[in-house]
Amino acid sequence: MLTRQVDELLGAAVRPSRENEWPKALIVPHAGYVYSGPVAAHAYRELEKARGKVRRVVLLGPVHRVPVRGLALPGVDAFETPLGRVPVDADAVRALSGLPQVTTSGAAHAHEHSLEVQLPFLQRVLDSFALVPLAVGTATKEEVAETIERLWGGPETLIVLSTDLSHYHPYDEARRIDGATLERIAALATDIHHDEACGATPLNGLMLVACRRGMTARLLSACNSGDTAGDRDGVVGYSAFALEEAKAATDREDAGRTLVGIARGSIAHGLGLGEAPRLDVPAWLARPAATFVTLTHEARLRGCIGSLEARRPLGADVAENARSAAFRDPRFRTLSADEWPRCAVEVSLLSAFTAIDFSDEAELMETVVAGEDGLILEFSGRRGTFLPQVWESLPDKRDFLRELKRKAGVPADTTLERCRVLRYRVEKWRETDFVTH
């Protein structure tokens, strides 16, 4: 009976138009199938090409019955539905063990429907997969985002976010409220309220990750219970979205040439030597990103300024950081037109950063990957970072961290155990890699 019902819902949903692709994340409703099943099916139909390829599903939904602080794992080895057992991913659970916001609560999961109703859909559209079920209670969007990032993985990992929209408004009022919320989700808003979406806490966390990664949210379907199986006096809203990762430039060298060209053009324009570079072509330059621009003069550092979080479009971020490196780095005087011909530019594109979990300095030293990790060190409101390129001049891990602590303005006698350390990776392009001028 359940198999037939799910298959009928999937069969009635629109078939995805994108060949051999599937979303990185889905936003789906969690009411009874007679109410929200048709909307959910539009999202799960998007996984048509993911069968046999997605092996792990990170499933987040709000708690409705048992309050919990943070994001709660169930403390069990598997979930079971009439369609069979779904194992909990033990490796993923271990990967979350160092996050203080992740707890274990069997009670939070015992009667929680926001996660359970997703499983039959997943069982029908995917082959065998492991589950990471997280019942989300009181948490910040940053805590949710950090948890999602820890489990992000590659194409083998799917993120599913379970939430309904507004609750128990008259039909026309609900359509107005939900229409505005749909626009905000599509715009990757991170301040959605619980009266707009019951899963606002995990939703805002996912939206924060989506913003940092330059993702897009595509509306697949939306309605409310007044459109399906309920009266229209007090309805519940439902929506389905597919979140897709931004596609980078198809050729790494072309991307680097474009970014270095923007950096050089921005500095030249600041010196009055040319027009400002265009920042809207190609389209991937409009996606949010975090970058650093490093300027050298006759092979010696002449300025380095950047962004740690993706708050501006990629092209604009490179242009602004290039100007800052040339004209606003407090360590150097303003760049002159006479110096400019002997200067070279390097652009670094940063990944999202993740916190390193460590109990003491020895464990931190073992965890850090010299030559590859960029590090951020935080202590008592102070913060500093070294790009991975700094390993070239500070190859010893202790020297690297000692100098990073000094750069951040952290007292020399502060132990690393009292600091927060985060890491990221970069893709970098040096002007000497290709001729741009």
- CATH number for the domain spanning 268: value is 3.30.700.20
- Asked if residue 358 and residue 336 are part of one domain, the reply reads no
* Residues 6+ away with beta carbon under 8 Å from 217: 27, 185, 186, 187, 188, 210, 241, 242, 243
| Per-residue pLDDT tens listing for the chain (437 residues) | 899 999 999 999 988 866 668 999 999 999 999 999 999 999 999 999 999 999 999 999 999 999 999 999 999 999 999 999 999 999 999 989 889 999 999 999 999 999 999 999 999 999 899 999 999 999 999 999 999 999 998 889 999 999 999 999 999 999 999 999 999 999 899 999 999 999 999 999 999 999 888 788 999 999 999 999 989 999 999 999 999 986 554 467 888 899 999 999 999 999 998 888 887 667 778 777 899 999 999 989 999 999 988 888 899 999 999 999 999 999 999 999 999 999 999 999 998 777 888 989 999 999 899 998 999 999 999 999 999 999 999 999 999 999 999 999 999 999 999 999 998 888 899 887 765 44
Look at residue 104 and tell me if it is in a domain: yes
pLDDT at 251: 67
Give the predicted TM-score (pTM) of the model: 0.61
- Asked if residue 358 and residue 343 are part of one domain, the reply reads no
From 244, 273, 298, give the residue that closes a domain: 244
- Asked if residue 147 and residue 6 are part of one domain, the reply reads yes
- Asked if residue 403 and residue 336 are part of one domain, the reply reads no
From 308, 326, 350, give the residue that closes a domain: 350
- Asked if residue 184 and residue 92 are part of one domain, the reply reads yes
Look at residue 213 and tell me if it is in a domain: yes
* Residues 6+ away with beta carbon under 8 Å from 420: 355, 377, 378, 379
Look at residue 432 and tell me if it is in a domain: no
- Asked if residue 367 and residue 293 are part of one domain, the reply reads no
- Asked if residue 366 and residue 401 are part of one domain, the reply reads yes
3-state secondary structure string across 138-172: ECCHHHHHHHHHHCCCCCCEEEEEECCCCEEECHH
d(CA 369, CA 395): 11
CATH of the domain at 410: 3.30.1490.150
What is the torsional sign of CA 55, 60, 64, 69?
Answer: positive
- Asked if residue 273 and residue 130 are part of one domain, the reply reads no
Provide the number of structural domains found in the chain.
Answer: 3
pLDDT at 246: 66
d(CA 435, CA 26): 42
From 350, 379, 394, give the residue that closes a domain: 350
Q: How far is CA 109 from CA 76, 84, 112, 244, 262, in A?
A: 10, 18, 5, 29, 51
pLDDT at 274: 81
d(CA 160, CA 247): 21
In terms of DSSP H, where are the helices of 151-281? 171-186, 200-212, 225-228, 252-270
197: phi then psi, degrees, rounded to nearest 5: -155, 125
pLDDT at 279: 78
418: phi then psi, degrees, rounded to nearest 5: -90, -5
Look at residue 433 and tell me if it is in a domain: no
- Asked if residue 64 and residue 52 are part of one domain, the reply reads yes
pLDDT at 212: 81
- The Cβ of residue 335 has, within 10 Å, a number of other Cβ atoms equal to 22
Domain that holds residue 403: 354-426
- Asked if residue 200 and residue 126 are part of one domain, the reply reads yes
d(CA 4, CA 235): 27
Q: Are 419 and 411 in contact (CB under 8 A)?
A: no
CATH of the domain at 62: 3.40.830.10
Amino acid (1-letter code) at residue 406: R
Using a 10 angstrom Cβ sphere, with 0-12 exposed, 13-18 middle and 19 or more buried, the burial of residue 66 is middle
